[in-house]
Amino acid sequence: MEVTATSVWNNCLAFIKDNISIQNYKTWFMPIKPLKLQGAVLSVQVPSKFFFEWLEENYIDLLRMAIRRELGEGARLVYSIVMENTYGNNNPVTVKIPSANRGAIKNNPLNVPTDNSSIRNPFVIPGLKKLQIESQLNPNYTFDNFIEGDCNRLARSAGYAVAEKPGGTSFNPLLLYGGVGLGKTHLAHAIGIGIKDKYPEKTVLYVSAEKFTQQFMHSTRNNTRNDFVHFYEMIDCLIIDDVQSFAGREKTQDIFFEIFNYLHQNGKQVILTSDRAPVDLQGMEQRVLSRLKWGLSADLQVPELETRIAILERKTYNDGIELPTDVIEYLAYSINSNVRELEGALNSLLAQSLLNKKKITVELAQQMVKKFVKTNTKEITIDYIQKIVCDYFNMPIELIKSKTRKREVVQARQLTMYFSKQLTKNSLAAIGAQCGNKDHATVLHACRTVANLSETDKQFKAYVEDLSKKLS
């Protein structure tokens, strides 16, 4: 009998039906349509992006088991989703999204020494002979969807090296630091997932510094401090997020110091994140700070324009959404504070389009950004002003930053300087540096020139008024 997508999926359905309630089966599996079988890859169609996300979150283990029964260990699932085309025409678009093929990332049971057979697991109800814990890693935070740029290249490269050889590099501990929303937590999870993929037998644990502190306080109240220490000493790769919250907590720092020393001396990997560099951490004991400096401290900075565009393109691709290039560029120019706000702005735009049934355009993005920016008290940037001026005169940004003295370029450069002085808090020197490495005197001259021409040249006055509206 010929093996087809339909026959394979029917067999999968028979297995699935025996393992879930009939109501869940009718709701989540009967609407799925088999499309194509190519080798060990089965393509199926689902009704919506929400449907796909629900299946991946709640039934990934069952789906994986069913498809592997039919097609072997290397079997993969690809979802096809018919979505409304956000460009505004009536033609639907079909996006293909491969299954993450990954459920919760689990560790092997920990073998407890006989003299510590009653160690308490601070994450779950205490076990007896063995402890089984989940790694607490987020399976969506992988290296594959972490966009590399100049802003994070060192941190990502170091993280990848650690994932390849945990505890075997000079990056131990690896401290990732930077402002809010720049990807520290994402990268920390990605390293942990990379370690679990390459070394399934290793025990990896992610925990926030706040959770670690709460567990320690609980162990102190219940006289189980030794259990707490022994538990953490059995971890092969310990990831602690936001260690700056240890500041001022002497007892927590003492216990962390003890656990850190044990892990480090036994070749275990320690990964930490912080919102500031070690030198700027206040309220930390010197001996703890010295340990933080033993390995590598790598910072994550605000992403540059190209990286912001790449982040938005990757997110829309992963979400199965098509957006016009000019909308993506507008968002990338407008939101330059951090990745979290950038993705938040994109989500807000998509929600506005969906709820109000509006086509996604630059104009809709401008309306959303005005509200978003006002909420977040964000300032207009020189980059954004350059973008608006260059679009207005239909010229590439590189010309404004070049040394050319062509009249139309000089005019655009002067207008950029003028609006940058009016609308940003940057110094004259900083404005000049981004407009062709000009000095502060040149910026002042440009501002005077624009003011004078606005009074004497009607065409130039129209330029200023049009650009003021676009920047307001």
Q: How does pLDDT run across 193-221, given as a tens digit for each residue?
A: 999 989 988 989 999 999 999 999 988 88
Residue 58: its pLDDT value, please? 80
Give the amino acid at 27: T
Of 372 and 253, the one with more pLDDT:
253
80, 44 Cβ separation under 8 angstroms: yes
Q: How does pLDDT run across 446-466, given as a tens digit for each residue?
A: 999 999 998 888 889 989 988
pLDDT band with cut points at 50, 70 and 90 for residue 85: very low
Judged by average pLDDT, the poorest of 44-48, 153-157, 336-340, 368-372 is 368-372
Residue 128: its pLDDT value, please? 36
pLDDT band with cut points at 50, 70 and 90 for residue 88: very low
Judging by DSSP bridges, how do beta strands 204-208 and 237-241 pair with one another? parallel
Residue 111: its pLDDT value, please? 56
343, 311 Cβ separation under 8 angstroms: yes
Percent of the chain with pLDDT over 90: 24
Closest C-alpha to 307, from 144, 146, 148: 148
Judged by average pLDDT, the poorest of 48-57, 282-291, 366-375, 419-428 is 366-375
Residue 436: its pLDDT value, please? 83
Gap between the Cα atoms of 400 and 390, Å rounded: 8
Gap between the Cα atoms of 162 and 168, Å rounded: 8
- The beta strands (E) that lie in 137-249 are given as 174-178, 204-208, 237-241
Q: How does pLDDT run across 343-376, given as a tens digit for each residue?
A: 888 888 887 777 777 788 888 888 878 766 544 4
Q: Please state the rounded mean pLDDT for residues 235-261.
A: 91
Q: What is the dihedral sign for C-alpha 379, 308, 189, 171?
A: negative
Closest C-alpha to 34, from 12, 56, 61: 12
pLDDT band with cut points at 50, 70 and 90 for residue 338: confident
With 0-12 / 13-18 / 19 or more C-beta atoms within 10 angstroms meaning exposed / middle / buried, residue 325 is exposed
Gap between the Cα atoms of 441 and 434, Å rounded: 14
Give the amino acid at 188: A
Residue 96: its pLDDT value, please? 55
Residue 258: its pLDDT value, please? 93
Residue 273: its pLDDT value, please? 93
Residue 379: its pLDDT value, please? 57
Instruction: Domains for the chain: give ranges and CATH numbers.
Output: 5-98 (3.30.300.180), 133-300 (3.40.50.300), 307-471 (1.10.1750.10)
